[in-house]
Chain A
Amino acid sequence: MAQFNEMYQGTGVRPPYARLDDWVAAMPQELRSLKQAEAEALFRRIGITFAVYGEGGDPDRLIPFDMFPRVFSAAEWAKLEKGIKQRARALNAFLVDVYGRGEIIRAGRIPGRLVYQNEAYEKAVAGFVPPKGVYSHIVGIDIVRTGPDEFFVLEDNCRTPSGVSYMLESREIMMRMFPDLFRENRIEPVDGYSEKLRRTLASVAPKKCKGEPTVVILTPGHFNSAYYEHSLLADLMGVELVEGQDLFVDGEYCWMRTTEGPRRVDVIYRRIDDAYLDPLCFRPDSMLGIPGLMDVYRSGGVSICSAPGAGVADDKAVYTYVPEMVRFYLGEEPILNNVPTWQCGKADDLKYVLEKLPELVVKEVHGSGGYGMLVGPKCSRDEVERFRAKIVENPGNYIAQPTLALSSVPTFVEEGVAPRHVDLRPYCLVGERIELVPGGLTRVALKEGSLVVNSSQGGGVKDTWVLAE
């Protein structure tokens, strides 16, 4: 399989990486080890630990950081940005539609079953339109690259995609360790993210809110693997970080306990799942949420970001239909393509998948974190056969995709510098406006040849550069 190296083409260096060639050549092994140790110490000092949404694993583990940056040219990014924003618009239009009249289903463009019988579809918000018609305020879109101009969306994350703290901290640390690099290259800043996020959240305050909205971040607590990120974002935005017990419902509003008495809350950026938000509406045994919150929300007293029910748009079976959403709601052709996907629940697709199994990647519909998946070409015959049995037993639970030749970026490894496969998760902000900071989180599969970038499967992170014009 021909693999696209984002830096080296034969003996040449692609223009975005031009200056990095000298940089790495001029860095002796000793200095590199020193810098690597310094980076690790910095990460440890900040106390950043990390788990991408639903990945599980040890919450206190440090994710490996690779100092070799991943670089996009201004032109490459311009196209990506357009594609990402287009997708985020379509996903939100879809959410408003399926909690409203369901035109896309009436038009026969997506099966109603996939939407209405989806675990993530919340009947409780049927008929409710959140402020500005936005359900997913932070859309994390996982993108892979296979060639100079070939980008594919692997999955969408419409609920509470995490990892943005790694984007911010990686940059911070790179700037501290290699200030020269940032003088020599014109790199678009990412530190505007927190202000953009604050503005996005404030822009979806309920109509009833007059004046400057009070925004809070709702966290499940310090035991959560992304707690560091919750507290970092609260700090950077200058808003309160709260747990369920800090909030309560009284009258038509939600309030925060403060030392100066109750303060009304207008926008809740929640980092807990729908099921735990309100024991009076969802799981009655939830201790993390706020009793009565959903009544206040549905009567327009408070905004919740992402809106309850947003998860129905990022299901792996619904994913197949996102290009259709772009055409249906926006009347445009999708700029970013999906990876061709076969639904094992469909008889024809299943037949094809079973035939080509050793060549395919197979995933569980509701799975995440790189668990429970098959990467055909990397597996033994036995493993493939065992997986085949699982698919046959419950075909509807699986989707399959071709094994993509993921692009690679030079990465520091034991022996020096070697190409490793990467993906990209940009964070698109949707409120009154749609905004995107240039870059995102680049995850890198540190194991040689590995195509799985998830941190739970031995993945690391890189600083992601977008060069100015």
Chain B
Amino acid sequence: MRLTVDHVTRYHYDRPVRSVVQSHRLTPSVFAGQKTIAWEVTVTGGAQGSVFRDGAGDLVQAWTVAGPVAEVTVRVQGTVETVDLTGVLRGHKETAAPECYLRATLPTRADTALDSLARSAEGADPLALAHALSAAVADAIAYRPGVTSAHTTAAEALALGEGVCQDHAHALIAVARVRGLPGRYVSGYLFADADGQSHEAAHAWAELYLPGLGWVGFDPANRCCPDDRYIRLGSGFDAQDAAPIRGIARGGGKEEMDVTVAILQASQ
């Protein structure tokens, strides 16, 4: 599937700031499931800084914007050719050891409820178990925008029984770890097809490390594995660690952020 992306993030400061520094993970991952046809990231008034590929295989690009500035717009435009690999992250080069993802962070720590949810899942082999865990998370946390925030932990979302893709991903990482499977948070885009079944164009899901298969994506929010409707950007321990944009403004006022994402199927 050929997908086009137009993703605009606008930061507005109520008083001009002295400077803005950002670290981006906004470039499609390099693996067998997707090929980048065209890709451009622009930052209004910004200067490109360091660029490198990190141990998890993500391309990291730094930007700086010299102030005074009251508004910064990050625009991502591009086209990606995707293939359905039923979630398998084939041909992705990385050096980070899967075992390091067995470490819990604050949002992915398992409490007793997550622990028992994890133990309720059954599977004859790791792959079946992973599917069962993903289904268990989807059953336990209903999709409902607006009830959770960026700081909600997996345990809190499970207690609420509601949440968004970020909460599903955190919860799946938490339950996978309980069962000894390394899990990580993946950020990317999702093409919402005509039947309206998919959620959230700026999307997140989880990858679990399965012996023999390597990293495999699971999207509890949509009860599936990532296919050719998905574009993968980067990964991390949790939402904050995998954030496509991490930034900080110095010497200024309050920040407001506004995001629009349009994912369309390109005409051939």
Contacts and interface: CB of A to CB of B under 8 A. Distances in A.
A99 B97 CA distance: 9
B55 A128 contact: yes
B49 A250 contact: yes
Interface in A242-257: 248-252
Interface in A91-148: 99-102, 105, 112-113, 116-117, 119, 121, 123-128
Contacts of A280: 21-23, 246-248
A127 B62 contact: no
Q: How large is the interface on B (under 10, 10 to 19, 20 to 34, 35 or more residues)?
A: 20 to 34
B100 A123 contact: yes
Interface in B235-254: 237, 240, 246-248, 250
A301 B97 CA distance: 25
B95 A249 contact: no
Contacts of A279: 248
Main secondary structure on chain B at its contact with chain A? strand
Contacts of A298: 50, 52, 54, 60
B64 interface: yes
Given A280-B246, A292-B62, A127 B99 contact: no
Nearest to A102: B97
Interface in A231-279: 248-252, 279
A126 B100 contact: yes
B32 interface: no
A299 interface: yes
Main secondary structure on chain A at its contact with chain B? loop
A101 B96 CA distance: 9
B55 A117 contact: no
**Most chain A beta-carbon neighbours within 10 Å: one of B49, B51, B250:** B49
A126 B50 contact: no
A295 interface: yes
Contact of B50 (A117, A284, A299): A299
B103 interface: yes
A438 interface: no
B97 A116 contact: yes
A299 B103 CA distance: 26
**Most chain A beta-carbon neighbours within 10 Å: one of B62, B64, B240:** B62
Interface string B14-31: 000001011100000000
A281 B50 contact: no
A295 B50 contact: yes
Contacts of A113: 99, 102
Contact of B54 (A116, A121, A124, A251): A124
A252 B50 contact: yes
B56 interface: yes
B248 A250 contact: no
B207 to A, nearest CB: 14
Interface string B62-97: 101010000000000000000000000000001111
A291 interface: yes
B62 A123 contact: no
A404 interface: no
Interface string A46-69: 000000000000000000000000
Contacts of B95: 100-101, 126-127
B21 A249 contact: yes
A434 interface: no
Contacts of B94: 127
A296 interface: yes
A284 B64 contact: no
A291 B54 contact: no
A295 B99 contact: no
A126 to B, nearest CB: 3
Interface string A68-104: 0000000000000000000000000000000111100
Contacts of A105: 97
B37 interface: no
A299 B52 CA distance: 6
Contacts of A251: 47-50, 64
Contact of B55 (A125, A250, A284, A292): A125
Nearest to A106: B97
A116 B99 contact: yes
Nearest to A293: B21
B131 to A, nearest CB: 25
**Most chain B beta-carbon neighbours within 10 Å: one of A100, A101, A296, A298:** A298
Contacts of B49: 249-252, 292, 295-296
Contacts of B248: 279-280, 284, 291
Given A126-B56, A248-B19, A295-B23, A112 B97 contact: yes
Interface in B206-224: none
B22 to A, nearest CB: 8
A124 to B, nearest CB: 7
A252 to B, nearest CB: 5
12 contacts: A99-B55, A117-B99, A121-B100, A123-B55, A123-B237, A249-B49, A249-B62, A251-B47, A252-B49, A295-B60, A295-B62, A298-B50
Given A121-B100, A295-B60, A298-B60, 5 more contacts: A100-B95, A117-B99, A123-B101, A292-B50, A295-B23
The 4 closest A-B pairs by CB, nearest first: A126-B55, A127-B95, A299-B50, A127-B55
